[in-house]
Amino acid sequence: MLIDPHKATLLAVDIQEKLIGAMSDPEGTRARARWLLAASAELELPIVISEQYPKGLGHTLPELIAAAPAAEVVEKSHFSCVAAQCLPASLMAREHVIVCGMETHVCVLQTVLGLLGLGKQVFVVEDACDSRTAANRAAGFARMRQAGAHIVTREMVLFELMGSASHPRFRHISKTYMVGDQP
């Protein structure tokens, strides 16, 4: 199944100031998430950003907010965005949810399992998710895959959102996000 841009939303889970430093690849996660959010925003994909207990864990990284200034930011205290009931109606109305964030084996996993339970088609962006350890990250992906989530990459997402080289933003997206050293 391909991602349908008319049915999709991007959900960035808990990429926050006080959590990023504990990840296995903090700088790579930061750069790849910014890349995905910026490209998705340029393609006018609706974007939702969750924050886990921001009073204690800080807010979303400022460069991510800058990359997707129209994104809706929601707060939660449950690990799962679904259990927290914080997801906006605009996201819940769409069939396809593209998910990135941290930690892969906790908040991302529980959110993905909740979305699958609601009948959503979920696409987890492997190269824009992270955990404190590689083992936890791998276990999170294995469980999501086993539950029926589609594991994808950032480039897969962009090419599926555009559909073809005739997309009006294809040339710009290709020159901006697909050439040179990418995160």
Q: Cite the active site residues.
A: 14, 76, 107
Strand order in the sheet with 121-130: 72-76, 47-52, 8-13, 96-102, 121-130, 150-152
Q: Cα separations (Å) of 85 from 25, 77, 80, 108, 124? A: 29, 10, 9, 15, 20
Distance, CA of 9 to chain centre: 9
d(CA 114, CA 146): 14
